[in-house]
A = this chain, B = another copy of it.
Amino acid sequence: MSVGRETRLSAWIERFAAHFAEEGIPLIGGRILGYLLVCQPTERTAAELSQELEASSGSISTNLKFLVNAGLVTKRTRRGRQAAQYRINEKRWVDLIQRKLDALVSVRELTESGMRLMSGDPERAMRLRTVDDLYTWLATELPAVWDRRPPSSR
């Protein structure tokens, strides 16, 4: 008995959502993202998502709003039709990654201001210095990586 592609896809969507749930994205939001990445046709209404993902209309609404606001999902309205269509905006995925990298690098501002508070006491600053060196390293390396991001993401 073989497992259909759609069944395997919904299992994949679930793993996908679970990963982003660990990063703070609500489960249902992650499911929407995974689903919109692979569904055919590419556009869905809120009602369709609600049925397909077995989530309440309220949760779909809240999460779509969040995702549209983040730029990851695009809402398309049509004259003469009441239901808007939602589709993934995969070009904006790079923003998600940028935010992650920025969050990492931003710790440097903390360690730097800490180092300033310690100036005049190099002995005491040694521990913080090791950590500060790490974030300084990241802050110098990551922008160069950023410049090599794939053309498909620009």
Query: Which A residues form the contact surface with B (CB < 8 A)?
Result: 5, 8-9, 12, 15-16, 19, 22-24, 36-38, 40, 42, 88, 90-91, 93-94, 97, 100-101, 103-104, 106-107, 110, 113-114, 117-118, 124, 127-131, 133-134, 136-138, 141-142, 145, 148-150, 152-153
Contacts and interface: CB of A to CB of B under 8 A. Distances in A.
Copies of this chain, whole number? 2
A118 to B, nearest CB: 7
B113 A12 contact: yes
Nearest to A146: B141
Nearest to A89: B127
A19 B110 contact: yes
Nearest to A36: B127
